Amino acid sequence: MDTDQSYHFGVMRRAIDLIDAQPDGPLSLDALAAEMSMSPAHFQRLFSQWVGVSPKRYQQYLALGQAKALLRDRFTTLDVADAVGLSGSGRLHDLFIRWEAMTPGAYAQAGGGLTIRHGVFDTPFGPALAMGTDKGLCGLGFLSECTLEEGIDDLCNRWPEATFVEDPAPLRNWVDASFAQKGEAHLHMIGAPFQLKVWEALLQVPTGHVTTYSEIAGAIGKPRAVRAVGTAVGRNPVSFLIPCHRALRKSGALGGYHWGLPVKRAILAWESARTGAA
């Protein structure tokens, strides 16, 4: 993992705030670079390294109205996405996700008998806390909007009877594959049966596309359970790989994001820009 990625996201996080504060449209490259205390050339280079498009183009992807544009132009109907191969062809590069769900009985034990290892890793969206069993990643959360202690408490409290050990080494290959979007990432999903259905549906949403909570509800055979689906999306323990950031409200509003809306917007913009530039 490129150790510069957290720095790049820190720059982008500051840029998001600046872009949102502008009432008169996008900032020029010179103005945005000056606000970042960088030369235009250096700032342009950081953008290219991080997402592969110009700052002007990226500002378009970050625009608050971009969610509605995504919903209009890249909306995925989940009941046909898998049938036409969209979920496979839409993935960047050749990342393959292999996932296994814990049985309902084991879930009821609240992680009892499990050893869960954890560590902090640099990612394109700032530092991330990863957790995993011997079978795969079971937790992934971003720390740019919370402290490490808050992130650990958040994920550990989901499986209170598990044994937690700080040991990042066994997780590194899975985390690296996840953000390089190349290779194989193993997941060990620990959740209630309804949650698992929602998370499996999210896996059908291709990179650079979005869906709605109501579409997810319909795809799992519970069309009236939109509110419960929203709760399950918010409880997704493995951010990014189980792409809860791709779920929007039917109105086109971003909805919530457990690890902070700035992170959700940055991920959606990053994916849209990389897909558009590919």
Active-site residues, by number, are: 244
What is the four-CA torsion angle of 180, 183, 189, 193, rounded to 10 degrees? 110
State the CB neighbour count (10 A cutoff) for residue 271. 26
Q: DSSP 3-state assignment of 142?
A: strand
> Checking DSSP bridges between strand 163-166 and strand 115-123, what pairing results, if any?
parallel
229 in Cβ contact with 211 (< 8 Å): no
Which residues have CB under 8 Å from 267's CB, separation 6+?
125, 240, 245
Burial (Cβ within 10 Å: 0-12, 13-18, ≥19) of residue 203:
middle
Contact by Cβ (8 Å): 176, 185 = no
Measured CA to CA, the distance from residue 25 to residue 246 in angstroms comes to 25
Tokens representing 109 are 């034990």
Q: Which two tokens stand for residue 80?
A: 């046909």
d(CA 158, CA 74): 33
